[in-house]
Amino acid sequence: MSRRPVNPGRRFADGGSIPFVGSVQSKTRSSPLLSIGLLVVGAILLICYMYSGSGTSINTKEAFSKVEGGSSCTLEVQRALPILKKAYGDSMNKVLHVGPDSCSVVSKLLKEDDSQAWGVEPYDLDDADASCKSLVRKGIVRVADIKFPLPYRAKSFSLVIVSDALDYLSPRYLNKTLPELARVSADGVIIFSGYPGQQKAKVAELSKFGHPAKLRSSSWWIKYFVQTKLEENETATKKFEQASTKRKASISSSPTHPQFLRFKPITAVNVTTGSDTDASEESPCDYSDGSWIYDPDFRFDRYDSSCKEIFKGWNCILNNKSNARDIVKWRWKPRNCNLPPFDPLKFLQTYKDTNIGFVGDSLNRNMFVSLFCTLKRVSSEVKKWRPAGADRGFTFLQYNLTIAYHRTNLLARYGRWSANGNGGKLEALGYREGYRVDIDIPDGTWEKATSFHDILIFNTGHWWWAPSKFDPVNSPMLFFEKGQPVLPPIPPDVGLDKVLKHMIQFVEKTTKSGAIKLFRTQSPRHFEGGDWDQGGSCQRSQPLLPEQVEDLFSVKNNGTNVEARLVNQHLYKALKGSNFHLLDITHMSEFRADAHPSSAGGKKHDDCMHWCLPGITDTWNDLLVTHLNSLKIRN
Ligand SMILES: *[C@@H]1O[C@H](CO)[C@@H](O)[C@H](O)[C@H]1NC(C)=O
Ligand SMILES: *[C@@H]1O[C@H](CO)[C@@H](O)[C@H](O)[C@H]1NC(C)=O
Ligand SMILES: *[C@@H]1O[C@H](CO)[C@@H](O)[C@H](O)[C@H]1NC(C)=O
Ligand SMILES: *[C@@H]1O[C@H](CO)[C@@H](O)[C@H](O)[C@H]1NC(C)=O
Ligand SMILES: *[C@@H]1O[C@H](CO)[C@@H](O)[C@H](O)[C@H]1NC(C)=O
Ligand SMILES: *[C@@H]1O[C@H](CO)[C@@H](O)[C@H](O)[C@H]1NC(C)=O
């Protein structure tokens, strides 16, 4: 199956800049090899790297002119098969390959004992050999234009491997084809892309694909995957990483430089709406998935730094934080819809004669303050009081709307514990000092809140990962149930599960009928260069990029701020099956390393945990309102 090469120079010009190739060139000694593997959740993107430079410092143009011979990504696919087999195991038993020379890939897969394989050849097969023709006759390999729906039912294959085919698609078609590939695969899509080397398509065929091959940088793909909602699959990442490390030596004598980035399952893409960016407000939308958009002309007039309720350390404007006024110029844009702006008057009217309670740590107070300042601006007649044992609260008298903040660190009641001179079970185990946490008793600060409020917003998280207070050795958390110590003692993360379980039960039992219960997901911290007490700081003036977010928060990296996603895992588990609604603010907030008080927080250390006000807890409240409105139990 020889194919006439397309003049690389021509494509080079069409493809514009080639930042990706340029950026890894110096790392690559010879070719072809798997220079970069972008391992996605079910999906992997392997940038295959075709030039055969043997030196280390050839310039890019020279490198391209050296492309010759019959190699293509197809060869890379064949080389990668053993790695993929190791990584994916059983999933590799039912594979669809999409791309040129599909016959050869399918043949190779079929040689494996237990493998079933099919192929889609997106190009003409005029010059196919006899065995390929036979595969086509049997319907195992089909010739099909991948710009159109694939002739297979959903989840027909465990894995779909696509090589050298997506490079020809403009974003418009990519938006259709990638979801199609995801649709027919049960476990994931593996993409081989990058500089396609020896081209498959004849010049005459290019028009069929509408586009010459386009070189796309790895960062382009990363961004694309993030936009199209690809999700992390750490299991797959780990497996692939292990498999490729073991195989490294045998794959090529030269060093490979796999780089792993992890995203969300491609299966989240809705095939019918995947390319629809203007979904109507009626259709369900994932408000937590989107990006921050900068609008330098945006005038924020929701409230200002004169709102008295803003805690001193969070008032970044008064504290002269350099980017304090820029923080609110970033607007959250969910991917498939818009987050409606907060209309305070409408809110007051809609929720008149209503009590709203925030129950949780200082991050919930931060959100409470944002709501207060927003409403106060349009309705200044307030009564300040402490409803139902709250730390603070206000009634907007004109509307009889009460909002309150109930301070609780762990949700459960806790207090200092010291060994009893007469001995006891914990004393017998050597415990002298610590904190007693009653997993089945709500903190007194909010035990009356559930029967008072009509809408409750809970959170807990930071205090469970606070070794400076709950030092595992000197002052550990000691969990009690029904007044007795839990034995053997359990670690905090197990305690958190138990507390959540009991507190959720308590809330469900004691709230008024019709009350709305929300649990807010974990607010991320952004300490870099150490934790809060190790000189860590957050000196950024702009939101993070998606790949920086992954770096900082991926559970796998176990970085300083890893608790953000860990806490959520506990929350998701505990809330499953409950009638709580989830207010998912974690991911949108992960980007906002620029929005903490930082060194303007007035503490000895940087505050990279709380948020400047005005700031992103305003967006959390936008989300809260949108969520409440979507429940449609009012109006
Ligand atoms: C393709 O999808 C991406 C991500 O959803 C979007 O940003 C882009 O505008 C879409 N392109 C076209 C041409 O539809
Ligand atoms: C993640 O990958 C593993 C291993 O390939 C697979 O078994 C699992 O189903 C995947 N999980 C998701 C959510 O895709
Ligand atoms: C995709 O979106 C359409 C239109 O909103 C909807 O009817 C369909 O159920 C969705 N499919 C999936 C799998 O979510
Ligand atoms: C902020 O700057 C103003 C004007 O320069 C100054 O008066 C004020 O003291 C500063 N505030 C803080 C907390 O540094
Ligand atoms: C104010 O709202 C509360 C709680 O919804 C209700 O019990 C009370 O009767 C209302 N007061 C007035 C004066 O309407
Ligand atoms: C994560 O890092 C911390 C120290 O920063 C360490 O104590 C802990 O064991 C690590 N956890 C895992 C799962 O590697």
Task: Specify the CATH number for the domain of residue 70.
Answer: 3.40.50.150
pLDDT tens-digit map of 319-331: 999 999 999 999 9
Contacts of 606 (CB under 8 A, 6+ apart): 527, 532, 536, 537, 538, 539, 596, 597, 598, 599
Ligand nearest to the backbone CA of 237: 2
Angle in degrees, CA 621, 627, 632, rounded to 5: 135
Give alpha helix (H) positions in 89-170: 102-111, 130-137
Query: In the structure encoding, which two tokens stand for residue 310, read together?
Result: 């803003």
pLDDT at 12 over 60: no
At residue 468, the pLDDT reads 83
To which residue do tokens 């020379």 refer? 101
Q: Establish if 276 belongs to a structural domain.
A: no
Q: Establish if 535 belongs to a structural domain.
A: yes
Interstrand relation of 290-294 and 412-418 (parallel, antiparallel or unpaired): unpaired
Count the domains in the chain: 2
**What confidence tier does 171 reach under pLDDT thresholds 50, 70, 90?**
confident
Does 543 lie in the same domain as 456?
A: yes
HSE value, Cβ hemisphere, 13 Å, CA-based, for 49: 29
Q: Establish if 131 belongs to a structural domain.
A: yes
Average pLDDT over every residue of 207-226: 59
Q: Check if 154 has its Cβ closer than 6 Å to any atom of ligand 3.
A: no
pLDDT tens-digit map of 304-315: 999 999 999 999
Does 401 lie in the same domain as 325?
A: yes
How far lies 516's CA from each of 93, 366, 371, in Å? 47, 20, 17
The candidate with the shortest Cα–Cα distance to 45, out of 289, 223, 268, is: 223
Does 387 lie in the same domain as 245?
A: no
Ligand nearest to the backbone CA of 467: 6
Distance 391 CA to ligand 4 centre (A): 30
Q: What is the DSSP string of 85-103?
A: HHHHGGGGGEEEEESTTHH
Does 441 lie in the same domain as 569?
A: yes
Give the range among 51-65, 74-88, 361-375, 407-421 with minimum mean pLDDT. Answer: 51-65
88 or 394, greater pLDDT: 394
231 or 298, greater pLDDT: 298
At residue 149, the pLDDT reads 77
Distance separating alpha carbons of residues 106 and 98, to the nearest angstrom: 10
Mutational test site, ligand 4, from 305, 312, 320, 603, max ligand atoms within 8 Å of CB: 320
DSSP structural state of residue 302: S
- Assign residue 613 a region: left if phi > 0, alpha if psi is -120 to 50, beta otherwise? beta
3-class DSSP state for residue 122? Answer: coil
Contacts of 278 (CB under 8 A, 6+ apart): none
What CATH number is attached to the domain comprising 370?
3.40.50.1110
At residue 193, the pLDDT reads 61
Average pLDDT over every residue of 245-260: 36
How far lies 619's CA from each of 328, 417, 541, 623, in Å? 9, 40, 18, 6
Q: Establish if 217 belongs to a structural domain.
A: yes
Does 588 lie in the same domain as 538?
A: yes
At residue 435, the pLDDT reads 97
Contacts of 467 (CB under 8 A, 6+ apart): none
Distance separating alpha carbons of residues 417 and 290, to the nearest angstrom: 45
Tell me the residue range of the domain where 259 lies: 21-263
Distance separating alpha carbons of residues 251 and 255, to the nearest angstrom: 9
Does 469 lie in the same domain as 529?
A: yes
Does 352 lie in the same domain as 247?
A: no
pLDDT tens-digit map of 445-470: 999 999 999 999 999 999 998 888 89
Distance 547 CA to ligand 6 centre (A): 22
Percent of the chain with pLDDT over 70: 72
Give the range among 281-290, 441-450, 560-569, 587-596 with minimum mean pLDDT. Answer: 281-290
The ligand 1 atom at the shortest distance from the C-alpha of residue 170 is 13
pLDDT at 239 over 80: no
Q: Establish if 287 belongs to a structural domain.
A: no
Around ligand 4, the residues with Cβ closer than 6 Å are 319-320
Distance 558 CA to ligand 6 centre (A): 6
Does 503 lie in the same domain as 394?
A: yes
pLDDT tens-digit map of 469-503: 899 999 999 999 999 999 999 999 999 999 999 99
Distance 351 CA to ligand 5 centre (A): 11
Mutational test site, ligand 2, from 187, 238, 269, 555, max ligand atoms within 8 Å of CB: 187
At residue 469, the pLDDT reads 87
Does 253 lie in the same domain as 367?
A: no
Q: Establish if 147 belongs to a structural domain.
A: yes
Q: Check if 141 has its Cβ closer than 6 Å to any atom of ligand 2.
A: no
Q: Establish if 7 belongs to a structural domain.
A: no
Average pLDDT over every residue of 14-30: 22
**What confidence tier does 173 reach under pLDDT thresholds 50, 70, 90?**
confident
Mutational test site, ligand 2, from 94, 232, 235, 569, max ligand atoms within 8 Å of CB: 235
Q: Establish if 372 belongs to a structural domain.
A: yes
22 or 77, greater pLDDT: 77
Tell me which residue has its CA closest to atom 8 in ligand 5.
353
Does 141 lie in the same domain as 85?
A: yes
Give the residue from 263, 284, 316 where a domain finishes: 263
- For residues 456 and 507, the answer to whether their CB atoms sit within 8 Å is yes
Distance 390 CA to ligand 2 centre (A): 45
Amino acid at 511: T
Around ligand 1, the residues with Cβ closer than 6 Å are 171-172, 175, 227-228, 275, 277
Distance 559 CA to ligand 6 centre (A): 8
Give the residue from 247, 263, 279 where a domain finishes: 263
Mutational test site, ligand 1, from 178, 180, 275, 285, max ligand atoms within 8 Å of CB: 275
Does 373 lie in the same domain as 224?
A: no
Does 198 lie in the same domain as 113?
A: yes
Q: From edge to edge, which strands make up the β-sheet containing 392-396?
A: 382-385, 392-396, 401-407, 355-360, 455-458, 516-520, 581-583
Tell me which residue has its CA closest to atom 10 in ligand 5.
353
pLDDT at 374 over 60: yes
Distance 455 CA to ligand 5 centre (A): 14
Give the residue from 239, 263, 287 where a domain finishes: 263
To which residue do tokens 């350099």 refer? 322
Average pLDDT over every residue of 120-145: 82
pLDDT at 281 over 60: no
**What confidence tier does 372 reach under pLDDT thresholds 50, 70, 90?**
very high
pLDDT at 76 over 50: yes
At residue 23, the pLDDT reads 19
